[in-house]
Structure 1
Amino acid sequence: MIGRCIGETSLTQISFVSKKMPQVGEYVTVEYDGKVILGMIESLVRGSVALNSEIYNPDTIAKIREIEGDDFYVKGTVRILGDVNDSLKIPRTPAPPGTVINQASSEILNEIFDVKNSLKLGHLINQSDVEVGIDINKMVSRHLAILAMTGAGKSNTVSVIIDGLLKHNGCMMIFDMHSEYVDAEFSNGEVNVIRPVINPKHMEFSEILKLANIKNAPIQERYFRQAFFEANEKIMEGTAPSTDFIENVLIILYQIHDAAEGASEKNKVMDVINKIEDLNLKYDRLLNTNAGDILKKIKLGKANVLDLGQVDENTAEVLVAHILRRALRSRKNYVKNHDPEALSFPVFFVVEEAHILAPQSRNPSSKTWITRVAREGRKFGMGLCLVSQSPKSVDSETLSQANNMIILRLVEPKDQRHVQTASESLSEDLVAQLPSLNIGEALVLGLMTRIPTLVKIDEFKGRMRGGDLDILDQWAINQDKKEKSGEESMQDLKDLWG
């Protein structure tokens, strides 16, 4: 027994008093009216009737302590989660005051967390013998957000999830902003690294317009639009080579320049030519007409990693938007029209650095398509996992579409408020626990788990980059190299002079 209900009880919350100290996040059961009701301890306070806040003399407090000893009481609140024997439905009647509150047994909890075709995430913080599994279908189809401050264990959590999905022959595509997963080793599958290269023939006008940095310039945009669509038309007709799309655009722009009347118009066309030539130089590695269809490179049963570590943010935004746009269109064609050339299997897209690709304060093309997939993807087998160490900077509309959350340690009040606004399941008491979580501990909530859960995430056993560098070790290595180089130079001089 932990304690007994006190005061007024409700269908969703009860207060209790105890003589022993339980733990926040611990599960309890309350039995009444023939029901077994499951709850979670959300808040605790410890106090003393004798040592109240009206005593202002420390000596008096010391004397009372000598008499009272450790005669403290514990008060807390329990959030009602549902009837254990009735699919965790909220009861129709509140618990009578004075009802006994017991610690939930491992048998009850194991039954609750035993999900069919589940992904093992870890174990309960307070009961290590109870493993926590999450529903893969609901995680992928209803989207997921993994949020934490830097160093709290996001990369480890993502890796555990990826490895768990590979065990089920899953398909995920990671937009890897820092090349963390490029040479990762998973026990249940392989990494398929996809180079950040797009065939410009598959790009929309707006995507190349962004790369060309033509903005707030309607005349330049008009000339570029004319050349873009004329080049496409000639390639389709076979009257222009398809090997270099941008080169074809430049040829047409030079023709427009030669035909333009007056120095002013020629200068405007030349401004466009200069920007397209800059694009051709800057994005020479990104745009390649021999690259094929990037969607065809996504492999089932592998961790597909788009390596964005060597590209700038602008390029990353274009790549992510391009892939999500075409993937959504392809999946629609497959589901609705059974197109044999379309993407034939569901894909779980992991968006690292979501605060960059779907920011609150800007509207890059990547944000548009991440939000679009968040709204529409469920119907077509497209899932999203938003990963960020700055939740307050992630677009609130996009974040609210994530019906599942894994929240590791969060200290910043603005981050906490932003996340709470996006999640209906996150109460004030649960938010208050986020700063006290240790590395690798997380609050898990949403449709993928039957009840809100405090979990110790499993440690990923494979190999991957990430985490902080050992600065002292790096300095020592470079010092050794410097000393060896000096010794070799001295030896070379000695050999030279005999």
Structure 2
Amino acid sequence: MVIGICIGETSLTHVTFISDKMPNVGEYVTMEYNGKKVLGMIENLIMGNDSLNVDINDFKAIQKISRIGAEENYIKGKVKILGDVNDNLKLPRTPVLPGTEIKLADNELLDEIFKVKNPIKLGCLVNQSDVEVNVEANPILSRHLAILAMTGAGKSNTVSVLIDQFLRYNLPIFVFDMHGEYKDAVFPNGEVNVIRPKINPHYMSFHEIKKLVNIGANSYIQERHFRRAFHEAKESLKNGVAQTNNFLQVMYDILENKSLEEGSDKQIVDVMNKIDDAMIKYSNIFDKNIGNILSSIKKGHANVLDLSQVDESVASVLVSHILRNALQRSKDAASKGENLIENSVFFILEEAHILAPKKRETDSKKWIQRVAREGRKFGLGLCLVSQSPKTVDHDALSQMNNMIILRLVEPEDQRHVQSASESLSKDLVDQLPSLNVGEAIVLGLMSKVPTLVKIDRFKGRRHGDDMDIISHFKNSIQKEKEEIENAQQETLDMGYDY
């Protein structure tokens, strides 16, 4: 079906066309010239009328022209060139010839485009619901993914669909669940393994403990006392001579004994006070009876770390601890020549703008950046999820070579996302505010072409949908009325009268 004709100057990446019928932004088209069959996507559309130009200021004149000149309306659009379908979607070396007809791509061609080796089914084309959209799983795991959207645009549903699709491959998924949305979820393709937000201090590094206790970078004397106590505590617990299994308490006791032996040293007392503060502040995340959190991960499960009851500082500690250990475990396996695939994990980080903030330095941000840069070499995948892209660290976001972008209205969010993605054009950015709930632009290495997708409705069950507050309080009126009527009836039954 011919929908337009190429006009004006064409390039290797874009063509302009004129049409007498209105197509849809996001539709795929083909153009045949010089023995090539080139695939493109409509990125922009405008409608105009030469007779009703903006220079006419006479309202009555405009009224008359509009009555007789409606047929003079024109439709002009822009097509992004995606590649030659006969040459593995490589960009052509010569531009499209002006005057070339533009046709809608047929379903058979599109089905071939979205046929991949290891499919992750996201949904269907927004403009053609009979065409399934499948993306390739491996590039998501090895080159990372960002899921970005304003609140209420369908972000959590998209995450759930993605998790369920990955569970079909028996993959270990690890979700940092900031709001408890997934701990009670039911996935058709796998089970949930809830992991408590606890750390055994024995598995924490010196620098993690030092950061936790707030020993400053320039506090050299305090650090020296703290380092000695740290190593003595490790040996004491290892040899079984410590009177308690509480690692921080063992360190505190060592420093207290040292202070009694050598006299009251202000620096030692300051370190003791900081350890005491840390024991109070972080007492809810320490558990001396558990093993390494990574040993709790199960294959083919959505391993959910429930962070809904901890504050941001504790969440940052847990995230940095887990990512550091995962990266170190994989590096150790690589140095021993072991199979890295066995240690593969796909980490999903909700509220990425909190865990990897743009303008603040946090431990979690540091390790998110490290895994984003190095993880693909060691089988560690990363998915950053955020409803505030503008406040997500740019370095981390730019390492996400795949993106699922749902509705974004705020211009600063749009600019930040575009600056982090090479394949997100200005015309596609302009479409973000007009997306409906559940619609997304999908682009990156996981897909052969940028795609406008209607994300599937998650078929399982999860928490996190907006509360129906009105229904709750409306029903409570009826409930209160029934309770009063029941109380009055009980009074009558007892022989009393009003």
Q: Which bracket does the TM-score occupy, shorter chain normalised?
A: over 0.9
SS of alignment partner, residue 72 of structure 2: coil
Which has the higher mean CA deviation after the structures are superposed, 156-165 or 241-250?
A: 241-250
Shift of 1:243: 2.5
Shift of 1:140: 0.9
Matched to 2:323, the amino acid is L
Note the alpha carbon deviations across 1:413-452, whole angstroms, 9 max, x for none: 1110100000000111010000000000000000000000
In structure 2, how many angstroms separate the alpha carbons of the residues matched to 1:426 and 1:351?
Answer: 22
Shift of 1:33: 0.7
Residues 26, 43 of structure 2: 8 Å contact kept:
yes
SS of alignment partner, residue 424 of structure 2: coil
Residues 406, 445 of structure 1: 8 Å contact kept:
yes
Question: Structure 1 residues 485, 204: CA separation in 2 closer, same or farther (over 3 Å shift)?
Answer: farther
Shift of 1:288: 1.3
Structure 1 residue 176 corresponds to structure 2 residue 177: yes
Question: 1:469 aligns to what?
Answer: 467
| Regions of 4+ moved over 4 Å | 476-498
Runs of 5+ unmatched residues, structure 2: none
* Number of residue-to-residue matches in the alignment: 494
Structure 1 residue 460 corresponds to structure 2 residue 462: no
Written as runs of structure 1 = structure 2, the 5 A alignment for 1:22-421 is 22-215=23-216, 218=219, 219-240=221-242, 243-262=245-264, 265=265, 267-338=266-337, 344-421=342-419
Matched to 1:323, the amino acid is I
SS of alignment partner, residue 129 of structure 1: coil
In structure 2, how many angstroms separate the alpha carbons of the residues matched to 1:102 and 1:28?
Answer: 5
SS of alignment partner, residue 370 of structure 2: helix
Question: Structure 1 residues 37, 365: CA separation in 2 closer, same or farther (over 3 Å shift)?
Answer: same
Residues 334, 343 of structure 1: 8 Å contact kept:
no
In structure 2, how many angstroms separate the alpha carbons of the residues matched to 1:65 and 1:476?
Answer: 50
Shift of 1:167: 1.1
In structure 2, how many angstroms separate the alpha carbons of the residues matched to 1:479 and 1:242?
Answer: 55
SS of alignment partner, residue 9 of structure 2: coil
Matched to 2:371, the amino acid is V
Shift of 1:275: 2.7
In structure 2, how many angstroms separate the alpha carbons of the residues matched to 1:360 and 1:4?
Answer: 45
Which has the higher mean CA deviation after the structures are superposed, 248-257 or 23-32?
A: 248-257
Matched to 2:65, the amino acid is I
Residues 39, 84 of structure 2: 8 Å contact kept:
yes
Residues 189, 302 of structure 1: 8 Å contact kept:
yes
RMSD of equivalent CA atoms: 2.4
Shift of 1:49: 2.0
Question: Structure 1 residues 401, 55: CA separation in 2 closer, same or farther (over 3 Å shift)?
Answer: same
In structure 1, how many angstroms separate the alpha carbons of the residues matched to 2:259 and 2:33?
Answer: 85
Shift of 1:285: 2.8
Residues 334, 344 of structure 1: 8 Å contact kept:
no
In structure 1, how many angstroms separate the alpha carbons of the residues matched to 2:174 and 2:325?
Answer: 14
Residues 3, 18 of structure 1: 8 Å contact kept:
yes
Query: How does the TM-score come out when normalised to structure 1?
Result: 0.94
In structure 1, how many angstroms separate the alpha carbons of the residues matched to 2:69 and 2:277?
Answer: 81
Query: How does the TM-score come out when normalised to structure 2?
Result: 0.94
Runs of 5+ unmatched residues, structure 1: none
Shift of 1:117: 1.4
Shift of 1:472: 1.6
Residues 341, 379 of structure 2: 8 Å contact kept:
no
Which has the higher mean CA deviation after the structures are superposed, 268-277 or 381-390?
A: 268-277
Shift of 1:171: 1.3
What percentage of aligned pairs have identical amino acids?
Answer: 58
Question: 1:444 aligns to what?
Answer: 442
Note the alpha carbon deviations across 1:317-339, whole angstroms, 9 max, x for none: 00000000001111222234155
Matched to 1:181, the amino acid is Y
Shift of 1:242: 6.8
